[in-house]
Amino acid sequence: MQEGVEIIGSSQDVTVIDITNASTSVSIGDHLEFSLRYESLVRAMISPYIEKVYVY
């Protein structure tokens, strides 16, 4: 995740991210990349609400 961006909280369908101190400008519609821990990855992979795109 880019410097200065912080995940404040999340639920099954919403993630709240604080971009106040982001190192670069972040606007609505921008893509943010972040890493998942194992438990979060498992939940994402079994969720029917998350689109998965497999890259080979």
The rounded distance, in Å, linking the Cα atoms of 32 and 20 is 14
Q: For 40-55, write each residue's pLDDT tens digit.
A: 889 888 989 888 898 9
For residue 16, what are the β-bridge partners? 9
Residue 52 lies in a domain: no
Asked whether the whole model's pTM tops 0.75, one would answer: no
Q: Which of 8, 38, 10 is nearest to 46 (CA)?
A: 38
Give me the pLDDT at residue 55, please. Answer: 93
The rounded distance, in Å, linking the Cα atoms of 3 and 22 is 6
Q: For 9-27, write each residue's pLDDT tens digit.
A: 888 778 899 999 988 888 8
List helix spans (H) across 1-56. 38-46
Residue 51 lies in a domain: no
Instruction: Provide the domain count of the chain.
Output: 1
Give me the pLDDT at residue 26, please. Answer: 87
Q: Letter for the amino acid at 6? A: E
pLDDT greater than 80 at residue 2: no
Range of the domain at 30: 6-46
